Amino acid sequence: MSNTPRFARKSMVVTGAAQGIGKQVAIDAAGEGARVTLVDRSPLVEAVAAEIVASGGQAASLIVDLETWEGNVEAMRTAHKAHGAIDILVTNVGGAIWMKPFQHFDEKQIAAEVQRSLFPTLWGCRAALPYMLAPRISASMPSPREERQRPLAPSPATPPRRTARRRPGARRSFRKRSSRAI
């Protein structure tokens, strides 16, 4: 069995790292050799980073609102600048705003929940991708404005799906199709 720490030479970004699960993930990962970037909108994130550094780990922190695309781009740029790469992304930001059954949510409450819990994860993953796909890039990354203007390229691994044409008025069949080419 190797004595090399599990996250040795790995750079990890942890969002929602000021408290709770995110804080503990960051502390544990740093204890296992990760260079961590802690991101949160709470100033408590700085104390967590200081705790990691005091215990011999490597940590950077950033106070930013991840409910915005620009906040996510800034977080990933900061992580890359601090540690030279992003190898692991832990998207922990978010959580329920109202603790009640979903059927009691109104339209504005649903929009707020999505804004707080879904968008930070999606934007964080998208903002981290350029760094994770080419983790040792030395050139500067595009600005948030350039990122918004650049369309996402389709994945070459996913060919366009062909669909069979139906005659107008024909009923759709859900039977298993034969293996013949369409």
Over residues 8-27, the pLDDT tens digits come to 989 999 999 999 999 999 99
Contacts of 23 (CB under 8 A, 6+ apart): 17, 48
State pTM to two decimals: 0.71
How is residue 10 annotated by DSSP? -
Over residues 52-79, the pLDDT tens digits come to 999 999 999 999 999 999 999 999 999 9
CATH class of the structural domain 11-145? alpha beta
CA-nearest of 82, 69, 87, 81 to 132 is 87
